[in-house]
């Protein structure tokens, strides 16, 4: 696989994200490629912003989620200093993913609304405009991991690829069948892309991944919940 960073100018909330991407793309998109898109740009394109304080926003979002019995549940798990440990759509993330970095002063950016629908529609546009079949789209963000310093990548949604690849039943090098192994393809490709996207002033909200293994492409409708496990299965529930 080859990861190509796509540098851009500053995206404004009134802009069309697909046109913005096409304007900054300076190369062909070959078959068997995956486009990774920063969730922050997706949220900006949906005007998912606020000037309220993060703590107030977190409580509002969690209360609304509880009242509406939302499928994409949001709740507070604990608080350490100024940070809330929260759960959003099955993902453990600080502050519900609400972030003020790389935004104008006082502006906080939420996670996108219905990222799966966005990924599906963006992929369809890519297929039509660039006349390609095997193209995937992944909506990315960064997260922290228990007892590990620094951020890694997490996929909020994906389209055109299998986000989770089940290895159970495959044989290891000694012929033993794997019993529990699954590979989170979507999170892994985001983690690779995050190195190029960066966290500061890199202005690289897109990464095009070429020569992606053909076996991972699919026309099957994807669901981000396929990557979520129950509390009973979670080793970190201690």
What is the tens place of the pLDDT at every residue in 112-170? 999 999 999 999 999 999 999 999 999 999 998 888 899 999 999 999 999 998 888 78
Q: Is the pTM of this model over 0.85?
A: yes
Average pLDDT over all residues of the chain? 90
The per-residue pLDDT for 71 is 66
pLDDT for 172 beyond 60: yes
The per-residue pLDDT for 70 is 67
Domain locations in the chain as residue ranges: 1-48+112-218, 49-110
CA-to-CA separations, 46 to 20, 63, 173, in angstroms, rounded = 14, 22, 48
DSSP classification of residue 206:
E
Whole-angstrom distance, CA of residue 221 vs CA of residue 34 = 16
pLDDT for 234 beyond 60: yes
CA-to-CA separations, 203 to 22, 101, 170, 181, 206, in angstroms, rounded = 15, 12, 41, 36, 9
pLDDT band, very low/low/confident/very high, at 179 (cuts 50, 70, 90) = confident
pLDDT for 238 beyond 70: no
pLDDT for 14 beyond 70: yes
Helix (H) or strand (E) holding 117: helix 115-130
User: Among 28-42, 57-71, 94-108, 219-233, which range has the highest average pLDDT?
Assistant: 28-42
Residue predicted with more confidence, 205 or 81: 205
What is the tens place of the pLDDT at every residue in 57-89? 999 989 888 877 766 789 898 888 888 999 999
139: its two tokens:
């909506």
Residue predicted with more confidence, 232 or 214: 214
Angle at CA of residue 59, ends 54 and 60, nearest 5°: 95
The per-residue pLDDT for 67 is 79
Whole-angstrom distance, CA of residue 184 vs CA of residue 226 = 10
Assign residue 13 a region (left: φ > 0; alpha: ψ between -120 and 50; beta: otherwise). alpha
pLDDT for 108 beyond 80: yes
Mean predicted confidence (pLDDT) in 103-118? 91
Query: If one looks up domain 1-48+112-218 in CATH, what number appears?
Result: 3.30.1330.100
């Amino acid at each position: 696989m080859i990861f190509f960073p796509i540098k851009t100018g500053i995206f404004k909330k009134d802009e069309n994200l697909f046109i913005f991407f096409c304007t900054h793309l300076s190369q062909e998109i070959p078959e068997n490629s995956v486009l990774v898109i920063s969730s922050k740009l997706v949220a900006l394109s949906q005007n998912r912003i606020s000037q309220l304080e993060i703590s107030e926003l977190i409580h509002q979002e969690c209360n609304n989620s509880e009242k509406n019995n939302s499928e994409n549940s949001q709740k507070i798990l604990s608080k350490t200093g100024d940070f809330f440990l929260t759960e959003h759509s099955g993902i453990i993330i600080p502050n519900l993913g609400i972030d003020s970095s790389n935004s104008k002063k006082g502006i906080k950016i939420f996670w996108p609304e219905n990222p799966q629908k966005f990924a599906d529609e963006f992929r369809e546009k890519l297929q039509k405009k660039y006349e390609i079949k095997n193209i995937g789209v992944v909506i990315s963000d960064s997260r922290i991991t228990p007892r590990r310093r620094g951020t890694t990548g997490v996929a909020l949604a994906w389209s055109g690829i299998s986000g989770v690849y089940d290895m159970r039943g495959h044989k290891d090098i000694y012929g033993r069948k794997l019993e529990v192994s699954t590979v989170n393809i979507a999170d892994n490709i985001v983690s690779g892309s995050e190195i190029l996207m960066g966290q500061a002033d890199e202005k690289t909200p897109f990464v095009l991944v070429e020569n992606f293994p053909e076996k991972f492409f699919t026309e099957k409708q994807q669901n981000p919940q396929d990557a979520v496990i129950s509390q009973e299965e979670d080793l970190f529930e201690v």
